[in-house]
Amino acid sequence: MTAPKELGFADIALKDFKNQNPHAIVNVETDGVINIEKPWGQSDCRIKLNSDEHDFILDLNRLAFNPMFQAMLHLDTNEIEIFFGYLRTDDKRDAEYMNRNFSLVFEGKEYQCRFSEPTPRLMRLALHFEQLPADSADRTAPQMLVFKDVQNLDVLPAPHRKYFENRLPRNFFVRATSGFTGVDVEKLAKHLNFLMNYYDRRTPTINIREPIAESLIDQKERVRLIEGDFPKSLVSSAVIDEIILQLLDVARRNNPRSSFIYYYQVFEYAGYYYSDGKAKAQLRNALRDPALICCGEDKISDLFSIFSDLAQNDEGKMRKVIEDHCEPRVIWKEIANDLDFFCQGHDFDGGFSTQALIAKDTTEFTWVTMWMPRTYDLLTKIRNVLVHAREKRENKVILPTRRNNQLLRRYIPIIERIAEQLALKE
């Protein structure tokens, strides 16, 4: 038989905190120092205290941290305290909401909302808050550093102390008269943001952080040199269309959602103008052919083929121009760089799903034989949902969430490379 595991100090003293915050990691050092890692789910900060700080341990046992918010829930008062910062007393805009309070009735429950001074409990928490190194610029609870500094003014440099002149600390509070049990806080916050912004275009809103899977964050590094080495001579067979250059430039500098749409617009532009131009050139050559006067069957057939191309719908034109001008082996390099991702289908927030682009045993040789129209159909399906807000015939969408942006980012190398090849082979 296995002996029962002995409960440690943290399991007993911080039992309630651990139950309310399962995402946090509590470690007790040999010298009695307690480190609470990932208090809001991210590894860029921690809470550090000594095991003999009994009053602060009581504070922690009455708090819940939701990784989606820069905030804390006071379990004993049924109040969410959302971190904000310092407002200028001599600024009209700040003064207009510095002491604002209002009530909200939402889904049959009443909430009292107000801007007010931070609670003493928060100020004590700030003293124990430590920011840790991180790659992301989106830091967790950066307001804590300001609330910590104001309690250590005597050791701050003069320029830092000056920041607090003519400023008052403010946080935003939401109190539920009947408690938050069963309340979808994310849904509540989104409705609050909408209503506050509707009535005051300058009002601060609640920052909602959307957690995303680690597998989506840890993306493969992009393919750098598409031909192995940088060429000694750059040759453009023709001047690249100015509109396409502009679309590519804007796409490269935008967020994944907008980038995807801009790259697809290159397909649309190329499909309409390039295919149309190709048919016109063929028609011009055919009409100049002296053999046409004889009205031979082969020449009449050629003319019908040209007019048939002109009559194609837009999707047919786009598919044709991609097939004519894009090299599947180049696109394969982008896929091979992120094989695990493209071997799977993916479910987006909002209900929209994609199927796997390739099978696990797909090789470059098999890719060349099957890449079209499979690639075009996948990219078109995603584009249609982004532009029309839902998939045709189904109420499925790609919501503008961080997770969806990360998923879209994984498709960008393919659509970008196709758009660039269309630009090069005008």
pLDDT digits (tens, 9 = 90+) for 125-169: 999 999 998 776 778 999 999 999 999 999 888 888 999 999 999
Query: Could you tell me if 344 and 354 are in contact, meaning their C-beta atoms sit under 8 angstroms apart?
Result: no
In this predicted structure, the answer to whether residue 2 has a pLDDT above a threshold of 70 is no
Distance (Å, whole) CA 169 – CA 334: 50
- Max mean pLDDT among 141-145, 211-215, 267-271 falls in 141-145
Residue type, 313: N
Rounded mean pLDDT, 61-82: 97
Distance (Å, whole) CA 324 – CA 336: 22
Residue type, 183: V
Which residues have CB under 8 Å from 362's CB, separation 6+?
343, 370
Residue 256 pLDDT class (50, 70, 90 cuts): very high
| Closest to 244 measured CA to CA, from 271, 223, 222 | 271
Alpha helices in 132-255 (DSSP H): 143-149, 158-162, 185-199, 214-217, 242-252
Check residue 279 and give its pLDDT.
55
Rounded mean pLDDT, 333-340: 92
Distance (Å, whole) CA 269 – CA 247: 10
Residue 292 pLDDT class (50, 70, 90 cuts): very low
In this predicted structure, the answer to whether residue 291 has a pLDDT above a threshold of 60 is no
Which residues have CB under 8 Å from 51's CB, separation 6+?
9, 13, 28, 32, 33, 34
Mean pLDDT over the full length of the chain: 85
Q: Give this prediction's pTM.
A: 0.70
pLDDT of 107-124, one tens digit each?
A: 999 999 999 999 999 999
Check residue 311 and give its pLDDT.
46
